[in-house]
Structures are given as structure tokens and as C-alpha cells.
Amino acid sequence: MGSAKLWGGRFSASTAASVEAFTASIHYDSRLYRYDIAGSRAHATMLADRGILSGEELADILRGLTEIEQEIDAGTFRFRRELEDIHMNIEKSLVERIGPAGARLHSARSRNDQIALDLKMYLRDQCDIIGDLLTGVQKAFVVLARQYLGHVMPGYTHMQRAQPVLVSHHLLAYYEMFGRDRTRLADCRRRMNLSPLGSAAMAGSGLPIDREQVAAALDFDGVTANSMDTVGDRDFAIEFVSCCTLVQLHLSRLSEELVLWSTEEFSFVDIADAFCTGSSIMPQKKNPDIPELIRGKSGRVVGSLMTLITLVKGLPLTYNRDLQEDKEPVFDAVDTVAASLSIMAELLRNLRFKTERMAEATRHGCMTATDLADYLVVKGVPFREAHGIVGRAVAFCIDQGCELEDLTIEQLQHHSRLIEEDVFEVLRVEGSVNSRISTGGTGLRRVEEAVSLAEKQMGIA
């Protein structure tokens, strides 16, 4: 018995059921149906314009594709595993509905360039969607930065208290991080936005097609230059998931801080009850599950990137069936990052900082030591010498159980006769923060300028 497959002309036996189960991708690539149908519409229109299809055939194809799309939208379309993928399911259904005209649609194209088209169009949209979600997270940070402008907290290096900073300055660090993510995705979108259709299996088509017409109809910036590269290329998918990986890693860093800050040991933030859970055995517990889950999900996105990188390693030109394995990691990365960004934006909009506790934490650990060293530099002391002077003053404070600002002028002058009464302006936390006025600095005026600029960039009145 001959094969019932659309590609089965040279086969004398039906595909084994085990092979059908192993090779099928329809259970996950069905989410590409809108892009597959849009590509088919543009391709059919071009074929008709080039005289390869008649006007009547084009009308039948467009009608059939619309019916299929409406049925998939409604959940009434029956996907068939034996037809392997989204392309063959749609094409087979089209042929059954309109007859031979449906079979003519595949002229001058292959599933190789068809899937490259579908995936590019899908990822192009995902760049926009995730970009919008990133904007939502950025806006949440800007709103918080304005709300807590003027409040201080410890800044950390090596997880040790380093220098006092403004809460808003810390928040705007994440604004910058997610801003880079947004521009990376936009750049990724621009680079992938070349139409692969017309490359066919790997050597193009001998039919008189117009690739530029299809590209323009589908909002591409142009067409790919080399058909062999086109059908074997998954750089665009790898680059996209790489961008997603950085997004998720930034979310993970933020989540780690939220987890730490919500502990009794820090007690810097209060995460709203709606975004926490309790313990099944300890009644007093309030667990920061959302940040923990986002942090944990980072492994999924990193894993997706590793899967794609491994997939193309050593893969010869041109198309190989290995590339069927590209879509599940891409889809999982999309779903994970989109969900994480969405829930994080909600959490941030309901986050409260414990400003008194944060301010109190800046009063310990001689956190204005660097400011004292800078004070001495202004007085003409070489920085390395100033560093040693202040280090000895800090050692004295540790021995006495006090802070630098607790020392008398006489005690300070014991370490350097250049120290005068005005030193107390920089030894106090507020003076320390406000003394840093350089561009990118943490001084109140600079931070307020940065908040205002971010508000303008985000369209926040």
C-alpha cells in the first residue's frame, strides 16, 4: 500500500506508527498557525500575480485559508498527528476543502523556508510583546523611584555594606538593566526581519516568483541573500533566546534581592500578601514565593539557550531534521520570560519599602569612610595615603564600638591635622549621599534628574 503523505510519492509503504509519533511536531508547533496562514496568503497572492495561479484558484485558496483559521480560532479544527506539523495539517485541510487548487499553493516553496518564515514572524511579534512587558517593569521602577526619592539605604559590594545610597538610585539601576534588554530585543528584531520565503528546500525556485512582493506584504524589510544559509539558519532564534536569557537573569538578580530584603535579618521591604504564600506547618510564615519561582525559572531559560546552541553545533548545511527541535525551547523561553515579567510588574506595583529600617542600616559599619578619604584628597592628601589614614580611623571606631560621625574633632585630628569641623557634613549619611554630584552619581539632585528623565522616557506625567 502506498503512502498517504503529501510527500509520499516515492514511498511504497506507509510510515510506521512509532515513526509518526516520534517525528510529529503538531502538538507544539500548532501555535504558529496564524503565521503559517498569513504566509500562505501572501505567497498565493504573489503566485497569482505572477500567473502561476488563476484568479479563481487564488479566491478559493484565500477562502479556504480563512475557514481554516476561523476553525482553529474557535477550537473546532482537528489537528492530525499523522500529518506531522502545522504546515501539512493546514495544506491537507485546504486540499480537502477546495481540491487541486490547494495542492498548487505549495509551488515554489518548501517546508524548510516555510518554517523559517513562520518562526521569524512569531519571534518578531514576541520581541514586541516582551518589549512591552519590559516597559511595564521599567515603569514600575520609575514610579517607585519617585515615591521613595530622598530615602537612603545601604549600598553593597561583596554583600557587605559599602556606602549609603538613595533608594531611588538603586531602583534606577534595574531600570537601566531592563532598558538594555529592551534595546537588545529591538536590535534582534531588526536583524531577523528578512523574509526567507522563496529559498524553497535549499536552492531557491525555478519558477518566476517575486520574493520582494511577499516580503513587503508580510512587513519584512527585505529578503535573505543566500538560500542555503536561509533554510539552515537558526541564529535569529538563538539570538532571541539569548536576549530572553539576559532578561530572566536580570529578573533573577532582582528576585534574589527581594528575597533577602524581605527576611527579618534585612527587613527592607514588605511584599504584599497577595504575592506571598504561607507554610503548611508554620503558621507565622510569609514566604516570597514569586521571587523564588522567578529565580528558579532562570534555569529553564538558560537551558533553552543551551539546547539551541547544542542543536546547531556541527550541523552541516543546509536543512536537517534536527532543526525541528528548535521550537520547544523557543516557546518555553517565551512563555517563561513573559510570565515572569508580567507577575514581577504586578509585584513591584504592590511593593513597600521600610524606609526607617533602611535608613537605620546606613548608620552602622562606618559607611561614610570613603567620603572621609575623598575629603582628605580635596585637602591635598594622595588618595592611597588618605585610604590608610581613614582605615586607621575605622579600626579605632571598631575598637571603641562607635561610628566615624561619633568621633570628636580631636579624635579625628589625631589621625590627620587637616581634618576640620566641616568634616561632619560628609560623615553624616545625608551629607555623604548629597556630596556625590557627578554624572551618574548618587547625590539627590542627580538622582532626581535621573528619575525625571526616566519618567519622560516612559511617558509618565
Tell me what pLDDT residue 5 has.
60
Tell me what pLDDT residue 8 has.
59
Distance CA 359, CA 107 (A): 70
User: Which of the following is catalytic: 158, 255, 262, 364?
Assistant: 158
Distance CA 192, CA 190 (A): 6
Tell me what pLDDT residue 448 has.
93
Tell me what pLDDT residue 1 has.
36
Ranges of residues in the chain whose predicted pLDDT is under 50: 1-3
Tell me what pLDDT residue 431 has.
77
Is residue 438 annotated as a catalytic residue, yes or no?
A: no
* Other C-beta atoms lying within 10 Å of the C-beta of residue 88: 19
Task: State phi, psi for 162 to the nearest 5 degrees.
Answer: -115, -70
Cell output for 446: 542627580
CA 310: distance to chain centroid? 21
Pairing of strands 160-166, 152-157: antiparallel
Q: Report the predicted TM-score, pTM, of the whole model to 2 decimal places.
A: 0.93
User: Which of the following is catalytic: 279, 342, 414, 452?
Assistant: 279
Tell me what pLDDT residue 2 has.
42
Is residue 170 annotated as a catalytic residue, yes or no?
A: no
